Structure 1
Amino acid sequence: MQEQTVALSKEQIRALPVFQNLHPENILVIRTLEQCREIQDELNQVKILGFDTESKPTFKVGEKSTGPHLIQLASHDKAYLFQVSTEILGFLKPILENERQLKVGFGLKNDTSGFRRQGIEPKSLIELSKSFSSFGYTSQVGVQTAVALLFQRYFAKSKKISTSNWAVKYLSSKQIAYAAADAYAALLIFDHLYTQQLLTPQLQQQISRILDDSVSRT
């Protein structure tokens, strides 16, 4: 299926109705291993996860990031925000390295470099930013533009929130909403691209094989 359109301007995007994020009660902030264990079974049942990370920004030349400090996973019903610790990374490692569980998102190359420093090699990552050539976009597309193209909704992106301190012990309500929306929107975008066959044929086939394999093993 092919769709063609002209590039949307920032003004056109801002004029759209606001994107509907998950309700706050469906956004879980995970700080302890005990909380991880409480959601382990439901996470294991999800075959496709919206995926993103956040890190405390670096401002000095040559300063290296110590992130990720927050890892976001989303199903169609919930977003799980994991505040990173050694224990939580240990819990997430089998999920991130599970070849039969898709992790979909934007800008995943930057995310994976941080995990490799922690001894984690994420598998079955689906990068969505390069999947909009049928809409007339030859370069990478961000989540805000993708939401506008596919759903005719305005996905607000606050630079103040994106560059805030993600390593704090207690996230603000704005940080929580922002982080959850990134992972949740990525999942919805993937659903649309995949079901409408707007991904490359090679990627469509790769995803189908993974999902078929997941079903056959359940």
Structure 2
Amino acid sequence: MDKHQENPIPSKEQIILYPKFKNLNMNQIILINTFEQCLDIQSEILQIPVLGFDSESKPTFKKGETNTGPHLIQLASHHNAYLFKVNPETLSFLATILSSRQQLKVGFGLKNDLHLFRKLNIELNHYIDLAKRFKSFGIENALGVKNAMALLFHVNFPKSKRMSTSNWSKQVLSPEQMDYAAADAYAALLIYEELLRLGKLNPE
């Protein structure tokens, strides 16, 4: 096992000095609300073998408040990020992709997603939780997207608390929300491919 150093994760001070992560452009980020919009992208998205994956939920701030999410589900390729507002129409389309054993979904911290999807009667199949795939670097604990991007690519991947705790149940998302949501799914895809290239993952 090649650890290089005692703690291979760059420090916060180091990460701040790294160049900022370059996300997909806004014209590559597609917000989907209706089944008609799903059909528009159906042929292209069903041909993508590996999809970066994430979801967002409206945060709960009060004790005992029930999480009603997910409110947004993100899937990303190298060319586009597809942001699906969760409703019966989009879920009927997404169920096929999420439960597919042909299309691989890669993301971080998927335990909560699995729980939320089961409440919607959707089983997430053929997926990799990348958070726990860094043991070969000497990292035993789960790793987040920001540190994974810093470790593998030496870039500063911004994680805004203001965005992560924003209202994801809104029908119309702000450009900042769309950029944030797309980045998480797109970064997961890049991280998966880099781990594969480095021989740190077995092809699935």
Same fold (TM over 0.5): yes
Work out the CA distance in 1 between the residues paired with 2:76 and 2:152: 19
CA deviations on 1:71-103 (whole Å, 9 max, x unpaired) are 000001100000110111011001000011100
Work out the CA distance in 2 between the residues paired with 1:174 and 1:183: 15
Match 2:170 to one of 168, 171, 176:
168
Match of 1:93, SS state, is helix
- Which consecutive unaligned segments of at least 5 residues does structure 2 have? none
Work out the CA distance in 2 between the residues paired with 1:59 and 1:191: 36
Match of 2:166, SS state, is coil
Aligned to 1:116: 118
Aligned to 2:12: 10
Cα deviation, residue 134, structure 1: 2.4
Aligned to 2:88: 86
Aligned to 2:151: 149
Q: Are residues 1:38 and 2:40 paired?
A: yes
TM-score w.r.t. length of structure 1: 0.90
Match 1:66 to one of 65, 68, 73:
68
Cα deviation, residue 4, structure 1: 3.2
Q: Which residues in structure 2 correspond to 1:174-189 (within 5 Å)? A: 174-189=176-191
Work out the CA distance in 1 between the residues paired with 2:56 and 2:148: 20
Q: Report the aligned-residue RMSD.
A: 1.2
- Aligned pairs, how many? 202
Cα deviation, residue 60, structure 1: 1.1
Cα deviation, residue 195, structure 1: 2.1
Work out the CA distance in 1 between the residues paired with 2:101 and 2:4: 33
Work out the CA distance in 1 between the residues paired with 2:2 and 2:19: 25
Aligned to 1:211: none
Q: Are residues 1:47 and 2:45 paired?
A: no
Q: Which runs of 4+ in 1 moved over 3 A?
A: 1-5
Cα deviation, residue 2, structure 1: 4.5
Q: Letter of the aligned partner of 1:23 in structure 2?
A: N
Which segment drifts farther, 3-12 or 175-184? 3-12
Match 1:107 to one of 101, 104, 109:
109
Match of 2:44, SS state, is helix
Match 2:31 to one of 7, 29, 32:
29
